[in-house]
Amino acid sequence: MINKLCDKIKKTNAPIVVGLDPMLSYIPEQVQKAAFDAYGETLEGAAEAIWQYNKAIVDAVHDLIPAVKPQIAMYEQFGIEGLKAFQKTVDYCREKDLVVIGDVKRGDIGSTSAAYAVGHLGKVQVGSKTYSAFNEDFATVNPYLGTDGIKPFVDVCKEEKKGLFILVKTSNPSSGEFQDQLIDGRPLYEHVAEKVAAWGEDHMGDSYSYIGAVVGATYPEVGKILRKVMPKSFILVPGYGAQGGKASDLVHYFNEDGLGAIVNSSRGIIAAYKQEKYAQFGPENFADASRQAVLDMIEDINGALQK
């Protein structure tokens, strides 16, 4: 899967990932109305609205991008119906040949991590049969529990040729509270990054490891350091756009081969029609606004990389 991600980035010339983080408040009136007419103002109605919204956006942008990153929290808030919409979204994006990064941020003691890994990346055994439940290509994982919490994910990734993005330095304002704490004179995120590099050593694709890292766009100086600590790890970079990360800050997250990082934008793409810049599209053409926002993001990132 890491080779597919690299190939698709080269083919689209777009080191970006569209975050499918649907909130009802982003979904235009007409999409909500159609869903509520069919299912009422119920959890099922909400799930239908987010599914139709996602589908329209994916249809509008899939040819431009290598990958999507559905954020499971936005679906889980609607319970089982929301999770069904998550699954439909994952399946639809895979049908469109997109790499799917499940932003699920799992991680627990080993036996529990094994169940998470099976559910999101592997196959679950039911009697004599096996099923892929959610079937994402990559999942985000929290490393706080240490090696025995990560190993089950790595084992499933090896079996299935799938990958991980492990939280190393997150984009949020408070991320430094724990992640910047010095241990033996170096911040915790550097220690975690060394582990990510080590965990990935024996699960390599052609050029990059299947085991990648999350490093926020909002801490570019840290990104520059971590790129060197994990030269073979792909970096998933959230925080561009809505959280303030800028393309010019992201140049050092990439390697000299032009690969090694993939920049996420969620609200900035899926709710583009709400921005003044894309107001001419109007809510009825929300998916066209998203397409334009993707084109602008690609130009912005590539422009910075070529300078």
Q: Active-site residues: which are they?
A: 105
Dist. CA 179–CA 169, nearest whole Å? 7
Residues 139, 101: contact at Cβ < 8 Å? yes
Instruction: Between 35 and 213, name the residue whose CB sits nearer to ligand LLZGTKA7.
Output: 213
The residue type at 123: K
Instruction: Between 96 and 267, name the residue whose CB sits nearer to ligand LLZGTKA7.
Output: 267
Please state the closest distance from residue 260 (CB atom) to ligand LLZGTKA7, in A: 17
Instruction: Between 74 and 114, name the residue whose CB sits nearer to ligand LLZGTKA7.
Output: 74
Residues 54, 24: contact at Cβ < 8 Å? no
Residues 10 to 39 in contact with ligand LLZGTKA7, rule: CB under 6 A: 19, 21
Residues 41 to 80 in contact with ligand LLZGTKA7, rule: CB under 6 A: 71
Please state the closest distance from residue 105 (CB atom) to ligand LLZGTKA7, in A: 7
Residues 168, 214: contact at Cβ < 8 Å? yes
The three-class DSSP label of residue 19 is: strand
Please state the closest distance from residue 41 (CB atom) to ligand LLZGTKA7, in A: 25
Residues 71 to 130 in contact with ligand LLZGTKA7, rule: CB under 6 A: 71, 103
Dist. CA 160–CA 287, nearest whole Å? 33
The answer to the question of residue 266 lying near ligand LLZGTKA7 (CB under 6 A) is yes
Dist. CA 283–CA 272, nearest whole Å? 10
Dist. CA 245–CA 242, nearest whole Å? 8
> Phi/psi at 37 (nearest 5 deg)?
-60, -40
Question: Site for ligand LLZGTKA7 (CB under 6 A): which residue of 214, 230, 289, 293?
Answer: 214
Q: How many residues does the chain have?
A: 307
Q: How many residues bind ligand LLZGTKA7 (CB under 6 A)?
A: 18
The answer to the question of residue 179 lying near ligand LLZGTKA7 (CB under 6 A) is no
Please state the closest distance from residue 217 (CB atom) to ligand LLZGTKA7, in A: 8
Please state the closest distance from residue 171 (CB atom) to ligand LLZGTKA7, in A: 4
Q: Give the DSSP per-residue string, 153-213.
A: HHHHHHHHT-EEEEEEE-SSGGGHHHHT-EETTEEHHHHHHHHHHHHHTTSB-SSSEEEEE
**CA angle, residues 56, 293, 291, in degrees to nearest 5:** 35
Please state the closest distance from residue 131 (CB atom) to ligand LLZGTKA7, in A: 27
Residue nearest ligand LLZGTKA7, CB atom distance: 170
The answer to the question of residue 264 lying near ligand LLZGTKA7 (CB under 6 A) is yes
By CB under 6 A, which span of 43-51, 57-65, 204-212, 260-268 interacts with ligand LLZGTKA7? Answer: 260-268
Closest CA to 228 of 193, 259, 202, 195: 193
Binding site for ligand LLZGTKA7 (CB under 6 A): 19, 21, 71, 103, 170-171, 214, 216, 238-239, 241-243, 264-268
